[in-house]
Amino acid sequence: MRVVALLLGLFVSQFVFAEEAVDHSSDFVYQVKSGDTLGKLANELLDHSKRWKDVAKYNQLTDANRIEPGQQLRILRPWLKSSAGKLKIEALTGSVTADGKQLQVGDEVAQGARLKTDAGSALRLRMPDDSLMNMMESAEVEVEKLEQRQGNMFNSLFRLITGQVETFKKKYPAGMSELAIRAKTATIGVRGTHFRMRQEGDRAYAEIEQGLVSYDAQKTPVVLALAGGQGSVADGEHAAEVIDLLPQPAFPALPVKFDTPYIQWVMPEMAGAQGYFGELARDEAFSDHLISVRSKKNRVMFSDLPNGRYWLRLRAVDTHGLQGMEGKITFEVNVPPRKFAMTKVYVGANSLQLRWVGRSESASYQVQVADDQAFGRPLLDVTTWGNLVEMPRPKPGQYFMRVRQIFSNGVTDTWDVPMRFEAPS
Task: CATH number of the domain at 174, please.
Answer: 2.60.120.1440
3-class DSSP state of 245: coil
Last residue of a domain, one of 333, 365, 395: 333
Whether the predicted pLDDT of 19 surpasses 70: no
Is 153 in the same domain as 225?
yes
Q: Is residue 2 part of a domain?
A: no
- Note whether residue 161 is domain-resident: yes
Banded model confidence at residue 326, pLDDT cuts 50, 70, 90: very high
We report the CATH number of the domain holding residue 315 as 2.60.40.10
Q: Which CATH number goes with the domain that contains 38?
A: 3.10.350.10
Same domain flag for 323 and 393: no
Indicate the pLDDT class of residue 165, thresholds 50, 70 and 90.
very high
Please say if the pLDDT value at position 44 is more than 90. no
Closest CA to 350 of 394, 383, 409, 384: 394
Q: Give whichever of 6-15, 115-124, 410-419 has the largest mean pLDDT.
A: 115-124
Nearest to 269 by CA among 256, 252, 293, 253: 252
Q: How confident is the model at residue 25 (pLDDT cuts 50, 70, 90)?
A: low
Please state the rounded mean pLDDT for residues 149-171: 88
Residue 3 has pLDDT above 80, yes or no: no
Q: Which of 33-42, 46-55, 226-235, 360-369 has the lowest mean pLDDT?
A: 360-369
Whether residue 364 is found in the same domain as residue 293: no
Q: Do 66 and 129 have their domain in common? A: no
Q: Report d(CA 68, CA 27) in Å as an integer.
A: 20
118, 208: one domain:
yes
Last residue of a domain, one of 75, 105, 132: 75
**Range name among 5-9, 255-259, 324-328 with the lowest pLDDT average:** 5-9
Q: Residue 18 domain-assigned? A: no
Same domain, 45 and 162: no
What tens digit of pLDDT does each residue of 281-323 get? 999 999 888 889 999 899 999 988 999 999 999 999 999 999 9
347-400 per-position pLDDT tens digit: 888 999 999 887 666 678 999 999 998 899 999 999 998 888 999 999 999 899
Residue 181 has pLDDT above 90, yes or no: yes
| Residue 331 neighbours by CB under 8 Å, 6+ apart | 254, 255, 256, 257, 258, 263, 309, 310, 312
Residues in the chain, total: 425
In a shared domain, residues 266 and 388: no
Distance CA 235, CA 72 (A): 50
Same domain, 377 and 396: yes
| 16 in a structural domain | no
Same domain (yes/no): 266, 413 = no
- Is 301 or 175 the better-scoring residue by pLDDT? 301
Question: Is the model more confident about 328 or about 5?
Answer: 328
- Give pTM, 2 decimals: 0.78
Domain residue limits at 212: 83-244
Give percent of the chain above pLDDT 70: 92
- Torsion region of 100: left, alpha or beta (phi above 0 gives left; psi -120 to 50 gives alpha): left
The per-residue pLDDT for 391 is: 93
At residue 252's C-alpha, the angle toward residues 250 and 253, to 5°, is: 130
Of 21 and 373, the structure prediction assigns the larger pLDDT to: 373
State which of 311, 333, 355 marks the end of a domain: 333
Assess whether pLDDT exceeds 70 at residue 24: no
Burial 160-172 (b: 16+ CB within 10 A, else e): bbebbbbbbbbeb
Residue 164 lies in a domain: yes
- pLDDT given at position 147: 84
Number of domains observed in the structure of the chain: 4
Please report whether residue 318 resides in a domain. Answer: yes
CA atoms within 13 A on the CB side of 161: 13
* 201 and 348 inside one domain: no
Q: Give the separation between CA 157 and CA 226, rounded to whole angstroms.
A: 19
Which 3 state secondary structure label does DSSP give 405? strand
Does some domain include residue 3? Answer: no
Q: How confident is the model at residue 23 (pLDDT cuts 50, 70, 90)?
A: low
Residues 221 and 89 in one domain: yes
In this structure, is residue 10 part of a structural domain? no
Alpha-carbon distance of 402 to 372, in angstroms, equals: 11
Q: Are 229 and 306 in a shared domain?
A: no
Residue 337 reports pLDDT greater than 80: yes
Question: Average pLDDT of 10-33?
Answer: 57
